[in-house]
């Protein structure tokens, strides 16, 4: 299984690290250079971690654990009004970002109220594009148990619910973190930081479980390999959007319009295959983005077999 690590060090002889990553069969996911300092996020086979660590020591850098790198997580609040917890919502998103995830904060169009709160099919479809979702709920136990759980009733993506009162278990979600509730200030106190850690532990577990399921029938190529090829496309290089290519556990999101570029994306060559043959390419609900879901090895083999027969 691949492990995602982040190298934090200088640019001096960093090429040796890139070469080693390539030699052990890993990929560089992202490089962020600030003058002579560089952060390199990479995916390497689990068993090769010691050799990467040895090289890091040699270069005078350090390895930072980023268990959520290569994932995109949605943090959902009933609305983004000041009544609906913008503070905890932002703090949770920031916490997940520090662990390597790309996060989006989302408010529902009609999430306010108790009996009137709703989620539309469109909003559910948007949330399902992400690897996991965190729903940030409020103070009243009765409100959460009777009404708010319907917000994430039919969502296929794993959900972690965050709320105020102590609730032992909730239906329709993978994990629950209690003790947050509504706040009008940032989460700075020790116990609040502890709650943020609980949220990240819950998401890490969800991501790990999803990775394990994927390992049973591995993807034909790792999304990071596809990213390398996709980044060479001209519209991606011209894109001014932050993180134009975002990794998912089972594919990637490319922030260029689907209608205009679907054919060029499908024609990208990966290990002698057209990307269109080894992945499902579709329009993203987010607008101006394309979703790529990489097929599993068995799906591609099956496809190849049918083609030759």
Partner 1 sequence: MTLTDESFAYDNFESIFRQILQDLGITRSVLAFRIVADPQAPYFLISVRLGRARSAIKVADMSQLNTHTGGTAITITDEAWAPALLNKLWQKYGRDRVEQLTRFEILVRGAELEEVSAMELDPGEELKAKVLDAVWRLFPEGFTVRYNIVDDRAMTIIGTEHDMSPQWVNVAQMVHKEMQVKEAD
Map the footprint of partner 1 across residues 99-138, applying CB under 8 A.
Answer: 112-117, 138
Q: Which of 194, 245, 202 is nearest to 224 (CA)?
A: 245
User: Quick one: angle between helices 86-98 and 190-216, nearest 10?
Assistant: 60
Which helix H or strand E contains 213, and what residues bound it? helix 190-216
Rounded to whole angstroms, what are the CA distances from 209 to 32, 53, 162, 203, 295? 29, 26, 19, 10, 19
Q: How far is the CB of 113 from partner 1 (least distance, A)?
A: 3
With CB under 8 A as the contact rule, the residue among 3, 61, 84, 136 that binds partner 1 is 84
Please say which residue, 70 or 78, places its beta carbon nearer to partner 1.
Answer: 78
Q: How far apart are CA 6 and CA 62, in angstroms?
A: 8
The answer to whether 160 and 202 have CB atoms below 8 angstroms apart is yes
Q: How far is the CB of 151 from partner 1 (least distance, A)?
A: 14
Examine residue 164 and tell whether it contacts partner 1 (CB under 8 A).
Answer: yes
Q: How far apart are CA 292 and CA 227, in angstroms?
A: 10
Map the footprint of partner 1 across residues 175-194, applying CB under 8 A.
Answer: 181-185
Based on its alpha-carbon atoms, the radius of gyration of the chain, rounded to whole angstroms, reads: 21
Which value, to the nearest 10 degrees, does the dihedral of the CA atoms of residues 224, 228, 229, 234 take? 130
Please say which residue, 165 or 288, places its beta carbon nearer to partner 1.
Answer: 165
Q: How far is the CB of 191 from partner 1 (least distance, A)?
A: 13
Choose the binding region for partner 1 from 28-36, 42-50, 64-72, 77-85 (rule: CB under 8 A): 77-85
The contact pattern for partner 1, residues 252-291, with x = CB under 8 A and - = no contact, is ----------------------------------------
| Residue ranges that bind partner 1, judged by CB under 8 A | 78-79, 81-84, 112-117, 138-143, 145, 164-166, 181-185
């Amino acid at each position: 299984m691949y492990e995602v690590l982040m190298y934090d060090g200088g640019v001096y002889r960093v090429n040796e690290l890139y070469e080693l990553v390539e030699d052990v069969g890993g990929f560089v996911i992202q490089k962020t250079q600030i003058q002579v300092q560089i952060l390199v996020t990479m995916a390497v086979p689990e068993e090769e971690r010691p050799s990467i660590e040895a090289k890091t020591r040699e270069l005078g850098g350090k390895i930072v654990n980023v268990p959520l790198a290569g994932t995109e997580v949605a943090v959902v609040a009933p609305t983004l009004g000041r009544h609906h917890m913008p503070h905890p919502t932002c703090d949770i998103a920031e916490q997940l970002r520090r662990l390597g995830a790309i996060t989006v904060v989302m408010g529902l169009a009609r999430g306010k109220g108790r009996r009137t709160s709703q989620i539309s099919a469109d909003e559910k479809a948007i949330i399902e594009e992400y690897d996991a979702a965190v729903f940030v709920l409020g103070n009243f136990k009765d409100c959460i148990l009777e009404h708010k759980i319907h917000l994430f009733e039919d969502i296929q993506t794993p959900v972690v619910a965050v709320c105020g009162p102590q609730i032992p278990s909730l239906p329709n979600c993978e994990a629950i973190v209690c003790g947050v509730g509504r706040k009008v200030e940032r989460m700075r106190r020790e116990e609040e930081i502890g709650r943020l850690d609980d949220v990240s532990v819950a998401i890490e577990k969800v991501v790990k479980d999803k990775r394990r399921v994927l390992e049973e029938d591995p993807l034909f190529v790792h999304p990071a390999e596809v990213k390398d090829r996709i980044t060479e496309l001209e519209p991606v290089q011209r894109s001014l959007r932050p993180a134009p290519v975002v990794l998912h556990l089972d594919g990637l999101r490319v922030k260029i319009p689907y209608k205009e570029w679907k054919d060029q994306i499908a024609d990208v060559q990966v290990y002698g295959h057209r990307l269109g043959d080894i992945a499902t390419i579709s329009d993203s609900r987010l607008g101006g983005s394309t979703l790529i879901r990489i097929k599993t090895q068995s799906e591609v083999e099956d496809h190849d077999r049918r083609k030759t027969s």
